């Protein structure tokens, strides 16, 4: 067996789903008995059979990936409950197995997958999707690329109307249907609180928080997920503020962005110029704008 063939054979076995009792399946990916499959490339020793040695790797693969999703999406886990969330994760990993060298990217397809498989969230689909989007935005904002901040000299020679500003790549803009930002902060607080000695007590507290949020009527909120000194923050935005930032992020000129943001505002009068100026001052103070990098000439 060549090295490449061995790697592929081993990978298929390791990524094969566990049974409900969290043991390695007796059936190999190719349909033959797993004991025979394992004996082709793993030797037994004086303590373990080929099957048992392979099972160690199979279990550790699944336990580590499931733990990674639980670490990245505690809010979704709280909304759905531990058992339902674990079942969802197993189904997701079968359809979207890890294809990256880092576990950081493990949940990047979860939103799209959940939209195509709504039965896993049931009546809490909308809320779960909001939470998936927020928790993935948290990951993106934490380690997303940062470019040099915009300087006054970068604006020289540009008229206000034709100016194209650029947002830092790590900034994530979200339009959500539920106040899941409040929920995830409460859940994180409970997870980090060392005063509670009982995990069961923390879980009860989480369920109460989720139940309280779930009873609220859907309310559209707008968020900017950003970071300061490698700490991620959620900042709620006015609807026009959100639409203005979104238009800037989409590459519109400042004049186009302002017209678009205020023309699409659904309720209430447009904001006052002083308010808009205050928004720009706040965004600039947080370093949200970056310089447009010159394009490198093609080789």
Instruction: Provide the pLDDT for residue 297.
Output: 54
Q: Would you state the pLDDT for residue 152? A: 73
Give pLDDT, residue 214. Answer: 62
53, part of any domain = no
Contact 126, 219 (CB under 8 A): no
Q: H-type helices in the chain, by residue range?
A: 3-14, 34-39, 50-72, 74-80, 82-95, 110-116, 125-143, 180-192, 199-214, 239-249, 254-263, 273-285
Q: What residue numbers bound the domain in which 271 lies?
A: 146-172+229-292
Residues in Cβ contact with 14 at an 8 Å cutoff, skipping those fewer than 6 apart: 54, 57, 58, 61
Q: Give the Cα separation of 241 and 262 in Å (integer).
A: 9
Residue 72 lies in a domain: no
Would you state the torsion angle of the CA atoms of residues 24, 30, 31, 37, taken in this order, to the nearest 10 degrees?
-60
Does residue 101 lie within any of the structural domains? no
Per-residue pLDDT at 157 = 58
Tell me if 69 is assigned to some domain. Answer: no
Question: How far apart are the C-alpha atoms of 43 and 30, rounded to whole Å?
Answer: 20
* Whole-number pLDDT of residue 146: 93
- Beta bridge mates, 174: 223
Strands 231-237 and 172-176: unpaired
Q: What percentage of residues in the chain have a pLDDT greater than 90?
A: 68
Helix (H) or strand (E) holding 172: strand 172-176
Query: Nearest CA to 164 among 250, 281, 262?
Result: 250
Q: Do residues 110 and 73 make contact, with C-beta atoms less than 8 angstroms apart? A: yes
Residue 6 resides in a domain: no
pLDDT score at 260: 83
Predicted TM-score (pTM) of the model is: 0.87
Name residues of the chain where pLDDT drops below 70: 154, 156-161, 190-203, 206-207, 209-216, 264-268, 293-299
Residue 110: inside a domain, yes or no? no
Q: With contact defined as beta carbons under 8 Å apart, do 177 and 126 qualify?
A: yes
Q: How many domains does the chain have?
A: 1
- Residue 154 domain-assigned (yes or no): yes
Pairing of strands 231-237, 221-228: antiparallel
The length of the chain in residues reads: 299
Domain presence at residue 152: yes
């Amino acid at each position: 067996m060549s090295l490449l063939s061995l790697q592929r054979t081993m990978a298929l076995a390791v990524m094969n789903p566990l049974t409900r009792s969290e043991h390695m399946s007796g059936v190999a990916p190719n349909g033959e008995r797993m004991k025979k499959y394992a004996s082709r490339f793993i030797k037994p020793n004086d303590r373990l059979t080929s099957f048992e040695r392979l099972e160690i790797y199979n279990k550790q693969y699944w336990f580590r990936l499931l733990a990674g999703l639980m670490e990245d999406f505690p809010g979704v886990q709280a909304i759905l409950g531990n058992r339902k969330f674990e079942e969802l994760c197993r189904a997701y990993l079968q359809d979207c197995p890890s294809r990256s060298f880092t576990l950081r990217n493990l949940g990047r397809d979860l939103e799209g997958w959940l939209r195509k498989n709504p039965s896993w969230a049931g009546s809490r689909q909308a809320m779960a999707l909001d939470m998936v989007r927020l928790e993935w935005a948290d990951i993106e904002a934490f380690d997303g690329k940062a470019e040099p901040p915009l300087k006054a000299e970068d604006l020289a020679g540009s008229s206000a109307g034709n100016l194209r500003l650029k947002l830092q790549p790590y900034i994530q803009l979200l339009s959500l249907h539920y106040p899941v930002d409040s929920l995830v902060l409460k859940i994180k607080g409970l997870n980090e609180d060392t005063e509670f000695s009982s995990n069961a007590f923390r879980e009860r507290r989480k369920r109460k928080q989720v139940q309280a949020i779930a009873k609220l009527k859907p309310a559209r909120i707008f968020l900017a997920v950003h970071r300061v000194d490698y700490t991620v923050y959620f900042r709620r935005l006015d609807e026009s503020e959100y639409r203005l930032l979104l238009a800037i992020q989409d590459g519109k000129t400042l004049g186009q962005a302002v017209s678009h943001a205020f023309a699409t505002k659904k309720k209430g009068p447009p904001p006052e110029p002083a308010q808009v100026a205050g928004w720009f001052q706040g965004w600039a103070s947080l370093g949200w704008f970056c310089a447009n990098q010159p394009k490198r000439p093609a080789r």
